[in-house]
Each structure stands twice: as C-alpha cells, then as structure tokens.
Amino acid sequence: MKDYSGPSGGRQLPASASIVDLYRLVLEQFAEVTASSISAPTMAATMNFGAATPGGGTATYSGLAMEGIEDGRIATFRADGFAFTVNMLQAGRQARPRR
C-alpha cells in the first residue's frame, strides 16, 4: 500500500448472516479508504457453502494492482490472472473420486 489513509482495523460484523449485510459492511469500510496504490502478487479466498449447500471452492487472483483509490472509487484496476474452482455436492451425497 502506498499513501494509505483509512480504518486501521475491521468493523464489527453484522448480527445478520445475510450476504447483503456483509457486502454493505465491506463497501462502507472501503468508502473510507484513500490510497495512491495497492498491489498484491497473489490473493486467494476459500469458500465454504455450509451444511445447506455442501461443497466449496477457491478463487485466486495474481498480479493485482489498484491505483487512485478515493471516495469509494478505484481509478484503475488490473489483475494478471484469475482462477476459480467450485465443488457443489448434493445434500446427503459424497463426492466420487475422479479416474
């Protein structure tokens, strides 16, 4: 990060487990950030869909770069690569090994 100004920590998570409330939380916090640039060689996330929808997945970005971050906006955004995998299982069934 270069020339960062904004929150030093995360906010309290909402009482609701709604994805809409989580997105709102992230967007509100991002609106408070100012930076001339932020970059990361790689960023990965793991998803667990929970008991209602068994399975999960991963998302991996490479070569992330953002510039001109202010007032909840990003002037430029670049990602050199993106990989996304998901494994959805039906409730009560186990994954079959691939051959």
pLDDT by 10s per residue, the chain, length 99: 999 998 887 778 878 778 888 888 888 888 999 999 999 999 998 887 776 666 788 999 999 999 999 988 999 999 999 998 888 766 566 656 555
- Identify the domain containing residue 75 by its residue range: 19-88
Cα–Cα distance, 20 to 38 (Å, whole number): 25
CB 34 within 8 A of CB 4: yes
Residue identified by tokens 């992330």 is: 64
* 25 domain residue, yes or no: yes
* 11 domain residue, yes or no: no
**According to the model, what pLDDT value does residue 76 have?**
97
* 28 domain residue, yes or no: yes
Give the three-state DSSP class for 2: strand
* 78 domain residue, yes or no: yes
Return the H-helix or E-strand segment holding 23.
Answer: helix 19-30
Q: Give the amino acid at 19.
A: I
* 37 domain residue, yes or no: yes
Cα–Cα distance, 56 to 48 (Å, whole number): 4
* 93 domain residue, yes or no: no
**9 - beta bridge partners?**
none
End-to-end CA distance of the chain: 45
